[in-house]
C-alpha cells in the first residue's frame, strides 16, 4: 500500500469514528491551520461567509447582548470574530477547540478582551453550569468523537432559555444537486485541498465525515434526546448545508 493509500485509509477510519478519530482530527487540523481559512473561502466560493452570518443570526444573541457565548469547535475563530463585531454586541465569546494551532491561526481577528480562545475538548467544556447565554458550532460538530456527549455538555453550560445553533454540511436531496455535490466533494475538493494545503488526507476526510454524520432529521432527534427543546432545522444552498437550532428549557 502506498503512502497516499495509507493516508486515505486513515481518513476513512477517522471519519467512521472510534478511538482513531480524536487523534486524527486534532493532529490533522493542527497541520492544515495555516491554509485553513484560505481554503474554506476558496472551496466554498465564499458562500461559507453567508452561511456563518445566518447561523449567528439564528443564535438570537440580542436577547442577551452582554452575555457569554460559546463558539464550539471554534477553529480559526471566524464565527467568534464575526459575532464580536455584530453591532450592539457587548458580551464575550469563548472560542473552544482542542487543536491549538487552529486557535493560534485566528488570533488577531478580534480583540482579546472580547474573544477568548481556549484549548478544550467538546466533551469537557471549561464553563460552569448555565454560564453561556448561547452556543454555536460551525462545521465542527461532525468532528467530535461522541456526538451525544457533546450535545449534553453544551446543554449543561447553557443558561435556561439559551439557544444552541449548529451549522453543518448535509447531503442534498435533489438528484441533480446531489450528483454535482458528490462530484465536487469527492473528486475536485480533495485534489484542490491537497494541492493548496500540502496535506493529502485532510480533504479526503471531509466528504467522508459528512457521509458518516447523521442526516438532518436524525440530528434533530439527537438534540431532543439531549433535552433541547424547540428543535428545528432549515436547509441552505439546495441542501448543501443546514442550520439546526434548539433551546434549553427555562426562562
Same domain, yes or no: 225 and 118? yes
pLDDT digits (tens, 9 = 90+) for 116-143: 999 999 999 999 999 999 999 999 999 9
CATH number of the domain bearing residue 102: 3.40.50.150
Q: Residue 66: what pLDDT?
A: 98
Same domain, yes or no: 113 and 189? no
235 pLDDT above the threshold of 90? yes
Average pLDDT, rounded, for the chain: 91
Same domain, yes or no: 152 and 125? yes
pLDDT band at 11 (very low <50, low <70, confident <90, very high): confident
Same domain, yes or no: 144 and 203? no
21 pLDDT above the threshold of 70? yes
Which comes out higher in pLDDT, residue 98 or 195? 98
Same domain, yes or no: 151 and 31? no
Q: Residue 14: what pLDDT?
A: 87
- Between CA 95 and CA 81 the distance in angstroms is 9
Q: Residue 65: what pLDDT?
A: 98
Instruction: Please compute the mean of the pLDDT values over residues 31-45 and round it to a whole number.
Output: 84
Same domain, yes or no: 163 and 190? no
Count of domains for the chain: 2
Q: 7-44 burial string, b = 16+ CB within 10 Å, else e?
A: bbebbebbbebeeebbebbbebbbbbbebbbebbeebb
pLDDT band at 244 (very low <50, low <70, confident <90, very high): very high
CA distances from 111 to 19, 87, 93 (A): 36, 15, 11
Percent of the chain exceeding pLDDT 90 equals 71
203 pLDDT above the threshold of 70? yes
Collapsing DSSP states into helix, strand and coil, what is residue 230? Answer: strand
Same domain, yes or no: 178 and 161? no
Instruction: Please compute the mean of the pLDDT values over residues 186-204 and round it to a whole number.
Output: 82
| Domain extent at residue 100 | 47-171+213-248
Same domain, yes or no: 88 and 143? yes
Name the grid cell of 17: 469514528
Same domain, yes or no: 191 and 159? no
pTM of the model: 0.94
Instruction: Please compute the mean of the pLDDT values over residues 95-106 and round it to a whole number.
Output: 97
Instruction: Please compute the mean of the pLDDT values over residues 161-174 and round it to a whole number.
Output: 95
Q: Residue 212: what pLDDT?
A: 92
Amino acid at each position: 500500500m502506498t503512502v497516499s493509500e495509507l493516508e486515505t485509509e486513515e481518513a476513512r477510519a477517522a471519519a467512521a469514528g472510534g478511538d482513531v478519530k480524536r487523534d486524527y482530527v486534532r493532529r490533522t487540523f493542527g497541520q492544515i491551520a495555516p491554509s485553513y481559512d484560505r481554503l474554506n473561502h476558496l472551496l466554498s466560493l465564499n458562500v461559507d461567509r453567508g452561511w456563518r452570518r445566518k447561523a449567528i443570526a439564528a443564535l438570537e444573541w440580542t436577547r442577551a447582548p452582554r452575555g457569554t457565548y460559546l463558539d464550539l469547535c471554534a477553529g480559526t475563530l471566524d464565527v467568534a470574530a464575526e459575532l464580536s463585531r455584530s453591532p450592539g454586541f457587548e458580551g464575550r465569546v469563548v472560542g473552544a477547540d482542542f487543536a491549538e494551532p487552529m486557535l493560534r491561526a485566528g488570533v488577531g481577528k478580534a480583540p482579546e478582551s472580547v474573544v477568548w480562545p481556549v484549548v478544550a475538548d467538546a466533551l469537557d467544556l471549561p464553563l460552569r453550569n448555565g454560564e453561556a447565554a448561547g452556543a454555536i458550532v460551525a462545521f465542527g460538530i461532525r468532528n467530535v468523537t461522541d456526538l451525544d456527549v457533546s450535545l449534553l455538555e453544551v446543554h449543561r453550560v447553557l443558561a435556561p432559555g439559551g439557544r444552541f445553533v449548529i451549522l453543518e454540511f448535509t447531503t442534498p436531496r435533489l438528484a441533480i444537486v446531489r450528483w454535482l455535490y458528490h462530484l465536487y466533494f469527492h473528486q475536485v475538493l480533495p485534489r484542490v485541498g491537497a494541492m493548496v494545503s500540502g496535506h493529502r488526507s485532510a480533504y479526503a476526510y471531509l466528504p467522508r465525515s459528512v457521509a458518516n454524520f447523521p442526516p438532518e432529521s436524525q440530528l434533530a432527534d439527537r438534540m431532543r434526546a439531549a433535552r433541547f427543546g424547540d428543535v428545528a432545522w432549515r436547509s441552505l444552498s439546495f441542501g448543501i448545508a443546514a442550520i439546526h437550532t434548539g433551546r434549553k428549557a427555562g426562562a
